[in-house]
Structure 1
Amino acid sequence: MKKAATIRDVAARAGVSVSVVSRVLNGTGPVAAPKRAQVLDAIEALAYRPRAAARQLSQGHSDTVGLLLADLTNPFFARLADRVVADARARDLQILLMTTQEDPHLEAQALDTLLDRSVGGMIGTPTGHNVERWEKLAALDIPAVFVDRTVAELDQVDVVSIENVQSAATATRHLLDRGHTRVGIVSGPLDTSTGVERVRGYEQALRERGVARDERLVRPAPFRGDRGADVVAEMLALDEPPTGLVVANTAQVRVVLKMLAQARIAIPGDLSLVVFDDNPWTDLIRPPLTAVRQPIDMLALHSVELVHARMRQKLPPAPRRIRVPAEFLERSSTTHL
């Protein structure tokens, strides 16, 4: 494997000192135009990693934003990407879209690629891993905004998400108030912020109504694959199965519905159901589904506004946390017990 170029390699090729290269990259001091050009040429020739920063310095700024989303087979992320592109275009920003497929290794590769492409900012849905690579963006003065999820170790990054705890509590409370004391939840993985926060909201509602938590009814599932169907089948096979269910993992709604139809589980007669998110078809199937509608347009708008302002250095350095309320839509998939 070819060894990555170092700052010393750049200095040697450009015929300048390391301190001159550092000043060009970081803007920490004056550099004569001919020497500056030599350094930028050397950085390009050697594919030195901070070349994204160097190009931005040579051009003033980059108008390209990297958009790194989890999974475009998930309708939530497909619609989010569409809105981000539209909002970015309105601000004369270009979007470079990549996906992680919920794989930390693909996320690491994508982040490296986006750095090589000289992005001026990033909007991303993190897997929860690759903390060092996300931190590298900050070291290169490339602003990042997390949308939908966050990472605890990266509390310096701006975040735009829905009110996950409140939304899951509202969905669970809706079922409890209809007499369902056996309420299950299918969450995202518990190493993601959305998975943790939605389970927290579910537990909050149980405590408020004095209902004991049953570990067997709290079932995380990956965002990809069909595991959601399996965990719901396992819950329904219990001696005391749930009579109410919150599918708080948007990627698993379709497979759960397919399994329930195949098992001839009547909704809401056998099982009252609340789902995240409100897909275009949720009010068209029979019965129409009670849903937590995530405000995708607002998530996209806030994300683009934040990264644009950061790229133009128009915000104070303190990180922003924007949590947008979701809308609860009561339809016909839930009933009183």
Structure 2
Amino acid sequence: MKKAPTIRDVAATAGVSVSVVSRVLNPDSGPVAPAKRQDVLRVIDELGYRPRAAARELSAGHALTIGLVVTDLSNPFFARLADRIVWEARSHGIQVVLMTTQEDPHLEADSLDTLLDRSVSGVIATPTGGNIEKWARLQDLGVNVVFVDRTIDELTDVDVVSIENFDSAKRSTEYLIGLGHTRIALVTGPRSTSTGRARINGYRAAHQDASLAVDPLLIRDVPFRGDSGGDAVGSLLAMPQPPTCLIVANTAQVQSSVRRLVQTGIRIPEELSVIVFDDNPWTELMSPPLSVIRQPLDMLAVHSLELVLGRMQGKLSDGPRLIEVKADFLARNSCAPLAQTAIH
């Protein structure tokens, strides 16, 4: 069966950008030269292109609907992020269809099919890393896609909003190196994800800048679901030469990792300095309070909505946007100089 023409097909045939076609479809979103507008309308007629319901909603002034695809609502970070995005969308009069994939590419594929059937105007998503063709198809059909927190390297024309993952991991590692530590353990997300790779690279860069060798056994990339963080921590502590400090850069595994530390009775920071990527209130209530990388959820939500809304209204120029938001490093009492750490 012949595929229906997409907004990209119209742009290519008319010799204009996708944003110009979008402005033709949505007259209030920006000016288009009369001759160019006629060319685009002619191509739309020749190709039989049917603008999606989203575009018609825009031009008619009806309420817009976007899809929000998050990987795991049991992860406190994504639960809070989804809440902030929904709140921000409602402040713009935008309705949200929320889907969760539970880190499963198959569920993600089903979610994308559902969103296509719902004719959403745009999608904000934390991708699993799979379904490259489906994500590309979604864009080809004129759906504006913004990735938040993670990205997919193969999809080079998608807008992305994330924290400075490389910088956050590098700053955390540099802080511990500055305290005299040389055996720094890192528990992070899977290397198959952009966040996992960036945080490992930041960790490595800090070692390289300090002329320290990296022990690959101290790097544990673990799944987001389950209790693999705790298992990784137990394995690290059981090493013949265990680490003197720990960075948990997998937000979903922070609780599991800290639980294992409490269960083993290890003293923080006397026996182990600890930094976690989390901004839950409980991290400050720990004894001692944990040093954290605080991820700015509000800024991630605001920028994601601004990008998807700007695309829908044809107000952004062609080419993908990458917005990296700086995360705060809050040094509390869970880290101590190596000289004060009882090496075990």
| Whole-angstrom distance in 2 between the partners of 1:110 and 1:196 | 26
Other structure's SS at 1:322 match? strand
Q: Give unpaired runs (5+ residues) of structure 2.
A: 5-24, 26-39, 339-344
What is aligned with 2:156? 155
Following TM superposition, by how much is the alpha carbon of 1:229 offset from its aligned partner in structure 2, in angstroms? 0.9
CA drift at 1:335: 0.5
1:318 aligned to 2:333? no
Deviation at 1:92, TM superposition (A): 1.1
Partner of residue 53, structure 2: 55
How far has the Cα of 1:59 moved from its partner? 4.0
Distance 1:170 1:60 in 2: 43
Deviates more, 1:248-257 or 1:87-96: 87-96
Counterparts of 1:289 and 1:60 in 2: how far apart (Å)?
47
Q: 2: CA distance between counterparts of 1:201 and 1:78?
A: 26
Residues 221-248 of structure 1, C-alpha deviations (whole Å, 9 max, x = no match): 1000011111111111111100011000
> 8 Å contact 2:186–2:219 — kept in the other structure?
yes
Separation in 2, partners of 1:280, 1:6:
54
Deviation at 1:56, TM superposition (A): 3.2
Q: Deviations over 1:259-308 (max 9, x none)?
A: 11111111111110000012111101111000000011000000000000
CA-to-aligned-CA distance 1:85-115 (integer Å, 9 cap, x gap): 1111111111110011001001000011011
Task: Report how many aligned residue pairs link the two structures.
Answer: 299
1:54 & 1:275 partners in 2: Cα distance? Answer: 44
In structure 2, the residue matched to 1:253 is 254
Higher relative contact order, structure no. (Cα contacts within 8 Å, ≥ 6 residues apart): 2
18, 29, 40: which is aligned to 2:44?
29
SS of 2:284's equivalent in the other structure is coil
Partner of 1:336: 337
Per the alignment, in what secondary structure is the counterpart of residue 150 of structure 2?
coil
Identity over aligned residues, as a percent?
53
- Partners of 1:157 and 1:197 in 2: CA distance: 18
Q: Is the 8 A contact 2:246 2:275 kept in 1?
A: yes
Give the alignment's Cα RMSD to 1 decimal: 1.9
Q: Which residue of 1 aligns with 2:167?
A: 166
Aligned residue runs from structure 1 range 23-102, under 5 A: 28-30=43-45, 53-60=51-58, 63-102=64-103
- C-alpha distance in 2 between matches for 1:268 and 1:187: 20
Distance 1:218 1:57, change over 3 A: closer
Normalising by structure 1, we get a TM-score of 0.85
Match of 2:188 in 1: 187
1:239 corresponds to which letter in structure 2?
A: P
Q: Does the C-alpha gap of structure 1 residues 268 and 140 become closer, same or farther in structure 2, counting only changes over 3 Å?
A: same
